[in-house]
Chains A and B, each alone.
Chain A
Amino acid sequence: MTTLIHTADWQIGRQYGGFEPEDAAALADARFAAVERIAHLAADEQADAVLVAGDVFDAQGVSARTIRRMFNAMAPFAGPWVLIPGNHDAALAEGVWRHALRLNVVPANVKLALEPGVVELPEARAAVLCAPLTQRHTYTDLTEPFDGWATPEGWLRLGLAHGAVQGLLAEDIDSANPIAPDRAERARLDYLALGDWHGAKRIGERCWYAGTPEQDRFKDNGAGQVLRVRIAGPGAVPEVEALPLGRHRWRTLERRLAVPSDVEALVAELAACGADEILQLTLTGTLDLAGRARLDEAIAAAEARVRALRCERGGLRLAPTAEDLAALHADGYLGEVLAELREADGPVEQEALALLAGLLAGREEAAA
Chain B
Amino acid sequence: MKLTRLRVAELRRFREPFEISDFAPGLNVFAAPNESGKSTLVRAIRAAFFERHRSSGAEDLRPWGDSAAAPTVELDFTLGCSDYRLVKSFLQKKRCELVAGARRWEGAEAEDHLAELLGFEYALKGASGQKHWGIPGLLWVEQGTTQAIAEPVEHAAAHLQRALNASLGEVAATGGDEVLERVRALRRELLTATGRPTGALAEALRVADESAARVAETEAAVRRHAEQVDRLKRLRDEHEAETKEAPWTALRQQLAQAEAALAAAEGLQREHDAAAAALRQADGLAGLLRQQIADEARRQQELAARESTRAGTQRRHEAATGAEAAARQALATAESRFAAARAALVLARQEQTRAQLGRDLAAARQAADSAAAALERARAEATRAATLRREADALAVPQAELKTLRQQSQRLHELGIRQDAVATRLAFELQADAGVALDGAPLVGQGERRLTQAATLTLPGGTVTVVPGGEDLAALVREHARLADERAALLQRLGLASADEAEARAAAHALKSQEAESARQALALLAPQGLDTLEAERSRAQARHAEAEQALAALPPAPDTAPPAVAAAEAEATAAEQARADAARQAEARQRERATAEAEHQAAVREHQALAEALAAPERAEAQRRQPLALADAQAQQAAAQRGLDAVQARIAAARPDILRQDVERLRRSADEAERAHRARELEVARLAAELAAVGAQGLDEQLAGERAAAEHAARRRDELQRRADALELLLGKLESHRQALTRRLQAPLQKHLDHYASLLFPAGRLEVGDSLRPEVLARPGQRGEERGAFETLSFGAREQLGLVCRLAYADLLREAGRPTLVILDDALVHTDAERLERMKRIVFDAAQRHQLLVFSCHPAQWRDLGVPVRRL
Contacts and interface: CB of A to CB of B under 8 A. Distances in A.
B728 interface: yes
A351 B709 contact: no
Interface in B406-443: none
Contacts of A336: 738, 742
Instruction: Please report whether the interface of chain A is mostly helix, strand, loop or mixed according to DSSP.
Output: helix
9 nearest A-B pairs in the assembled complex, by CB-CB distance? A332-B173, A59-B701, A63-B699, A15-B705, A61-B700, A61-B701, A351-B727, A94-B692, A17-B709
B708 A15 contact: yes
Interface string B830-841: 000000000000
Contacts of A352: 727-728, 730-731, 734
Interface in B729-744: 730-731, 734-735, 738-739, 741-742
A330 B731 CA distance: 14
B182 interface: yes
16 contacts: A18-B712, A21-B713, A58-B705, A61-B699, A64-B699, A66-B699, A92-B229, A95-B229, A330-B173, A333-B173, A333-B739, A341-B731, A355-B183, A355-B724, A355-B727, A363-B179
Contacts of B179: 334, 356, 359-360, 363
A66 B105 CA distance: 95
A333 B701 CA distance: 55
A13 B702 contact: yes
Contact of B176 (A58, A102, A334, A354): A334
A96 interface: yes
B693 interface: yes
A331 B178 CA distance: 13
A18 B728 CA distance: 26
B252 interface: no
B173 A331 contact: yes
A333 B730 contact: no
B229 A94 contact: yes
B395 interface: no
A363 B175 contact: yes
Contacts of A16: 709
A354 B730 CA distance: 12
B693 A98 contact: yes
A335 interface: yes
Interface of B: 170-176, 178-179, 182-183, 186, 222, 225-226, 228-230, 232-233, 236, 688-689, 692-693, 695-706, 708-713, 723-724, 726-728, 730-731, 734-735, 738-739, 741-742
Interface in A320-365: 329-337, 340-341, 347-352, 354-356, 359-360, 363
Contacts of B698: 61, 63
Contact of A61 (B704, B710, B730, B731): B704
Interface string A115-148: 0000000000000000000010000000000000
A306 interface: no
A350 B726 CA distance: 11
Given A60-B701, A94-B692, A333-B741, 16 more contacts: A15-B702, A16-B709, A17-B709, A60-B226, A94-B229, A95-B696, A102-B693, A329-B174, A334-B179, A336-B738, A336-B742, A348-B727, A354-B727, A355-B728, A356-B179, A360-B179
A340 B705 contact: no
A24 interface: yes
A14 interface: yes
B705 A94 contact: no
Nearest to A24: B709
A60 B702 CA distance: 8
Contact of B696 (A60, A66, A341): A60
Interface of A: 13-21, 24, 58-66, 92-96, 98-99, 102, 135, 329-337, 340-341, 347-352, 354-356, 359-360, 363
Nearest to B724: A351
A310 B720 CA distance: 14
A355 B726 contact: no
Contact of B709 (A21, A64, A332): A21
A337 B727 contact: no
A99 B696 contact: yes
Contacts of B688: 94
A328 to B, nearest CB: 10
Contacts of A24: 709
A205 to B, nearest CB: 37
A236 to B, nearest CB: 41
B179 to A, nearest CB: 6
B165 to A, nearest CB: 10
Contacts of B233: 92-93, 135
Nearest to B221: A61
A15 B703 CA distance: 9
A102 B872 CA distance: 119
A331 B177 CA distance: 12
Contact of B730 (A95, A335, A349): A349
B731 A98 contact: no
B712 A61 contact: no
Nearest to A13: B702
A340 B701 CA distance: 49
A222 B490 CA distance: 193
A337 B730 CA distance: 10
Nearest to B716: A18
B696 A17 contact: no
Nearest to B235: A93
A333 B738 contact: yes
Contact of B742 (A62, A92, A99, A332): A332
Contact of B705 (A13, A21, A93, A331): A13
A359 B186 CA distance: 11
Contacts of A348: 723, 726-727, 730
B734 to A, nearest CB: 5
A99 B696 CA distance: 7
Contacts of A359: 179, 182-183
B701 A332 contact: no
A17 B713 CA distance: 7
A332 B689 contact: no
B712 A334 contact: no
Contacts of B178: 363
Nearest to B745: A333
Contacts of A333: 172-173, 176, 735, 738-739, 741-742
Contact of A351 (B696, B705, B726, B735): B726
Contacts of A337: 731, 734-735, 738
The CB with the most chain B CB atoms within 10 A, among A20, A63, A94, A350, is that of A94
Nearest to B231: A93
B804 to A, nearest CB: 33
Contacts of B172: 332-333
B761 to A, nearest CB: 33
A99 B172 CA distance: 73
Determine which residue in B179, B225, B695 has the highest number of CB atoms from chain A within 10 A of its CB, and name it: B179
A339 to B, nearest CB: 10
Nearest to B222: A61
Most buried by B among A61, A95, A330, A356: A61
Contact of B734 (A60, A65, A340, A347): A340
A93 B232 contact: yes
B171 A332 contact: yes
B712 A17 contact: yes
A303 to B, nearest CB: 15
Contact of B702 (A17, A66, A92): A66
Contacts of B182: 359
A335 B699 CA distance: 57
A64 B694 CA distance: 11
B99 to A, nearest CB: 42
Contacts of B236: 93
Nearest to B703: A61
Contacts of A354: 727
Contacts of B735: 333-334, 337
A216 to B, nearest CB: 12
A109 B715 CA distance: 45
Nearest to B726: A348
A66 B710 CA distance: 19
